[in-house]
Amino acid sequence: MIELTHYPLKRAFHPWIRPLVLLMALVVFGGTILHADEPQYLRRSIRALGMGDAFVAVANDENALFYNPAGLQTLQQHIVEILTINATLNQNFTDFSKEDSSDQSAVIGRMVGKKFYADLNLSALSISGPGWGYSLFSGFRFDAKIRNPTVPYFELLSYLQYGAIGGMAFNFLDETLFVGASYKVINRNGVRKDLHVVDFLDDNFSDQLEDDFSTKIASSPDIGVIYILDKYYHWEPRLALVVKNIGDMDFGNTGKVPMSVDVGVATESEFAGFNLILAMDWVDLTAATTQYRSFKRNLKMGVEIGMWKRSNTHHALSFRAGRNGEYGTWGLSLNIPYFPMKIDYANWSEEVGNVAGDIEDKRQSIQISFNF
């Protein structure tokens, strides 16, 4: 097993792991939950989420490491991320903040069955360039549900994870075939537990919560391919395939990120100074359970319009729209000229029910990145 003892992020976050996770668990209903109704992701691009999360064949920025490592070879220059931080919050948090807390039982009754989701991600000192890249990253995930309106209880999972990923890509067949591979190592620290209302009245509640705290390291490779077809009337079609999390990433009590096979198609063109990208993905073709193997649920489509491309490969201003399964998405980016800061926003929804179109969970994401 690979240890992260000498990783800088390990030394930076280790003293704060348990206090941070336990504090977040206590602040909102005593904890967080990882549900079977929503698949896990290690990292999601805010840019991609704005265009329906269709990015397997696009993969033309620093997020290629997490979507398709073959895309590293399509980068035309280096991207240096000094610091990137993003956050996601779902609509139920906003609704909850408006509730009258004077009648706690009534508030809990209205919240039963609803999901409270948030995550926070950080990466620093990361570099992506033509044919290679690496990133040091960390993330905290918050996902809670209240169950049973008669005797409410909370399903609990709270975790902080951090790790490193690196990858390389090569081109073949006169730069029409790109093949890439990446490898990631993640340390996850968290707790998973069902908590009943009476548990909060126990004087030893905090100690019991800490006793269930677990730490586990997992690692896995990704392998991806992108094939660029001949140009058709200024369009450049791409076909892509990626196998992610090979062998699964099993974090024991705090969940598992399963292996997935994703395919995608995309095309890009220039019109009167505007850059236009169209993309469509079908993800998780070999899902282990039929719950996630749904054409409508796993189909992602998106479009991006950008203008005034800057030296960090991103456009100064970009607009996006798409569909993530049954639900619409949109987003935008401001890549500030003459200053190494980029702001991304996405308004999107995740399916948290059993089938496509069952239960929509509305979310908003924002990211600030200092890069050049």
Domains of the chain: 8-371 (2.40.160)
Q: What is the pLDDT of residue 158?
A: 81
Residue 30 DSSP symbol: T
Q: Identify the H or E element spanning 49.
A: helix 46-50
Q: Which among 89-98, 228-237, 311-320 has the top mean pLDDT? A: 311-320
Instruction: State how far the Cα of 280 lies from the Cα of 237, in Å rounded to an integer.
Output: 11
Which runs of E-coded beta strand occur in 247-292? Answer: 249-250, 256-257, 260-271, 274-282
Instruction: State how far the Cα of 72 lies from the Cα of 133, in Å rounded to an integer.
Output: 7
Q: Each residue of 185-199: pLDDT tens digit?
A: 999 999 887 776 666
Residue 83's Cβ-side half-sphere holds a number of Cα atoms within 13 Å equal to 2
How many CB atoms are located within 10 Å of the residue 8 CB?
A: 12
Q: Each residue of 239-249: pLDDT tens digit?
A: 999 999 999 99
- Return the percentage of the chain with pLDDT > 90, whole number: 57
Q: Each residue of 301-336: pLDDT tens digit?
A: 999 999 998 888 899 999 999 999 999 999 999 999
The burial class, CB within 10 Å (0-12 / 13-18 / 19+), for 159 is buried
Instruction: State how far the Cα of 144 lies from the Cα of 146, in Å rounded to an integer.
Output: 7
Q: Which among 36-50, 208-222, 320-334 has the top mean pLDDT? A: 320-334
Residue 153 in contact with residue 111, Cβ under 8 Å? no
| Residue (of 370, 350, 355, 353) closest to 52 by Cα position | 350
Instruction: State how far the Cα of 131 lies from the Cα of 129, in Å rounded to an integer.
Output: 6
Cα torsion 214, 138, 19, 199: sign = negative
Q: What is the pLDDT of residue 13?
A: 41
Which backbone phi and psi does 197 adopt, to 5 degrees? Answer: -55, -40
Mean pLDDT of 268-274: 89
Instruction: State how far the Cα of 350 lies from the Cα of 30, in Å rounded to an integer.
Output: 24
β-pairing, 132-147 with 153-172? antiparallel
- Residue 113: pLDDT band (50, 70, 90) is confident
In whole angstroms, how far apart are CA 147 and each of 27, 29, 154, 272?
A: 18, 12, 6, 54
CB crowding 312-339: b at 16 or more within 10 Å, else e:
bbbbeebbbbbbbbbbebbbbbebeeee
Which backbone phi and psi does 19 adopt, to 5 degrees? Answer: -60, -40
Q: What is the pLDDT of residue 103?
A: 63
Residue 321 in contact with residue 51, Cβ under 8 Å? yes
Mean pLDDT of 62-76: 96
- Return the percentage of the chain with pLDDT > 70, whole number: 80
